[in-house]
Amino acid sequence: MNEIRLVGKCIDLASSSVLHEFKSFIADDWIIAGKPVWTVTDSSIIGGPEPDTHGQIFYKTPCSCDIVMEFDARLIAPSDHDIVWWYRTNLESKPWGRGYLAALGGWYRNLTGIESVPDFALSSTSNSCPVEPDQWYHIVSGVVASHHFIAVDNSVVFELLDPDPLPENHSGHFGFGIFQSHVEYRNLTVYVPKWQRIEEKYTE
């Protein structure tokens, strides 16, 4: 997905700077939050299964800019919910400071959405992209100038404008999550997005 068109913005992913590209994963590069339900292999990060718990895994090195995450993810049957990823999340506070989480198959009703943390004041969901177990999904998601989005399999399925965006110099981590689920993540690339504003017009 080389170009991501949002309302009033266009991200040129092909020309964006690559901040991190994970051709393989090294366990020591990641911070586990919550219960230790994570397995880091050479090719993937697997969360769960463990009933009645949640957990997060964050890359140790923070960044202080808008980012876009591109990765593949699947639910491992019989799990049928909660593919979760985090971005720009501050780990200085416990359990976490300001930041964002996004999810497919979440909120108990197989919804797509984004939440702010730790207060969850910014919370919006949609039934735009239900997910199924054992199917790989290609996900591109992140934030540019307070404009959050989720694209799945080369189609933008969710957009959200944050009325209270993070400061430009906010330092935060990116990573993945589980919520009573069993999920595998692989092929992660993190970009500093190159984008431009675009004028929207109706077709005559």
Question: Structural domain boundaries of the chain?
Answer: 3-193
State the Cα–Cα distance between residues 130 and 110, nearest whole angstrom.
Answer: 6
Pairing of strands 44-47, 183-192: antiparallel
Question: What is the reported pLDDT for 88?
Answer: 94
CATH H-level, domain 3-193: superfamily:
Exo-inulinase; domain 1 (2.60.120.560)
Burial of 1 (0-12, 13-18, 19+ CB in 10 A): middle
Structure tokens that stand for 165 in this block: 């965006």
Q: What residue has token string 């300001």?
A: 98
Indicate the pTM of the whole model: 0.94
- Residue 92 three-state SS: coil
Question: What is the reported pLDDT for 202?
Answer: 83
Question: What is the reported pLDDT for 36?
Answer: 78
Question: What is the reported pLDDT for 203?
Answer: 82
Task: Decide which of 52 and 22 is more confident.
Answer: 22
The predicted model gives 39-50 an average pLDDT of: 93
Instruction: Give me the chain's average pLDDT, please.
Output: 93
Q: How many CB atoms lie within 10 A of CB 145?
A: 14
Q: In terms of Cα–Cα distance, which of 164, 162, 132 is closest to 147? A: 162
Structure tokens that stand for 152 in this block: 């799945």
Longest dimension (CA), the chain: 57
Q: In terms of Cα–Cα distance, which of 43, 71, 69 is closest to 172? A: 69
10-19, 83-92, 194-203: which has the minimum mean pLDDT?
194-203
